[in-house]
């Protein structure tokens, strides 16, 4: 049985759950605009992509959103709406703790500065990782090849020695193009079974 050296996890909807409506609903209430319009401004256009890729700062993102929605909101108020949306998946955290006993751990995520800093401060599971490959630091989001190449550089081993876990089939397919062993995440039970099959877990 092949022995894998590095296990790479996605963050959103694998380790942490979130609902974008926890952002759009209060902004809808404050702005008086339709929720679809708010969603399009915050998540559906170029702003989130620019922010996730680190092309604009957190304060730039805040200023552009409130200008588009024509609302009066301080940066601190906006940051609260933007960040307090996450819940941790404890069963996945337990799996990560078990994987850490035998393997190097990397986090590979499409995320932004405010979300990652909030999550890192509040969820201890993120401190179990040996390194972090984050879109806002790399300058590209999955499935762009640049971010996978950055992850493999951090891994420090051949692609075939890595196991990658993501809930998005498109991102799993991109990882397989790099010859990583990549798994589509469905739930903790399925993940544990798959990792046992690969002998990542006993």
Q: Which of 37, 66, 83 is the last residue of a domain?
A: 83
Q: What average pLDDT does this structure show over 86-98?
A: 98
For the stretch 95-153, pLDDT in tens is 999 999 999 999 999 999 999 999 999 999 999 999 999 999 999 999 999 999 999 99
Q: What is the pLDDT of residue 44?
A: 87
Distance between CA atoms of residues 11 and 68, nearest Å: 29
Whether residue 107 is found in the same domain as residue 26: no
Q: How far apart are the first and last CA of the chain?
A: 12
Residue in the structure block whose two tokens are 């969820």 = 123
Whether residue 130 is found in the same domain as residue 75: no
Residue 34 within a domain:
yes
Here the CATH number for the domain that contains residue 152 is: 3.40.50.1000
Band (pLDDT 50/70/90 cuts) for residue 186 is: very high
Residue 35 within a domain:
yes
For the stretch 61-81, pLDDT in tens is 999 999 999 999 999 999 999
Residue 1 within a domain:
no
The upper half-sphere exposure of residue 103, i.e. CA atoms within 13 Å in the direction of its Cβ, equals 27
The pair of three-digit structure tokens given for residue 103, joined into one six-digit string: 């393997």
Min mean pLDDT across 41-45, 60-64, 157-161 is at: 41-45
Range of the structural domain that residue 179 is part of = 6-17+86-197
Whether residue 107 is found in the same domain as residue 155: yes
Q: Reply yes or no on whether the pLDDT at 1 is more than 80.
A: no
Q: Which of 28, 48, 83 is the last residue of a domain?
A: 83
Residue 202 within a domain:
no
């Amino acid at each position: 049985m092949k022995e894998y050296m590095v296990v790479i996890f996605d963050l959103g909807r694998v380790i942490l759950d979130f609902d974008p409506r926890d952002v759009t609903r209060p902004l809808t209430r404050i702005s008086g605009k339709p929720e679809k319009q708010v969603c399009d401004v915050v998540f559906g256009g170029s702003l989130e992509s620019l922010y996730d890729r680190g092309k604009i700062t957190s304060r730039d993102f805040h200023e552009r959103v409130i200008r588009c929605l024509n609302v009066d909101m301080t940066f601190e108020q906006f940051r609260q709406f933007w960040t307090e949306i996450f819940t941790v998946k404890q069963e996945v955290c337990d799996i990560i703790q078990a994987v850490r006993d035998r393997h190097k751990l990397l986090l590979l995520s499409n995320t932004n500065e405010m979300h990652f800093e909030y999550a890192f401060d509040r969820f201890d599971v993120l401190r179990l990782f040996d390194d972090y490959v984050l879109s806002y630091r790399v300058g590209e989001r999955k499935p762009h090849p640049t971010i996978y190449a950055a992850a493999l550089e951090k891994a420090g081993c051949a692609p075939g020695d890595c196991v990658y876990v993501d809930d998005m089939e498109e991102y799993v397919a991109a990882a397989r193009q790099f010859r990583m062993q990549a798994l589509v995440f469905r739930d903790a039970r399925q993940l544990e079974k798959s990792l046992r099959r690969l002998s990542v877990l006993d």
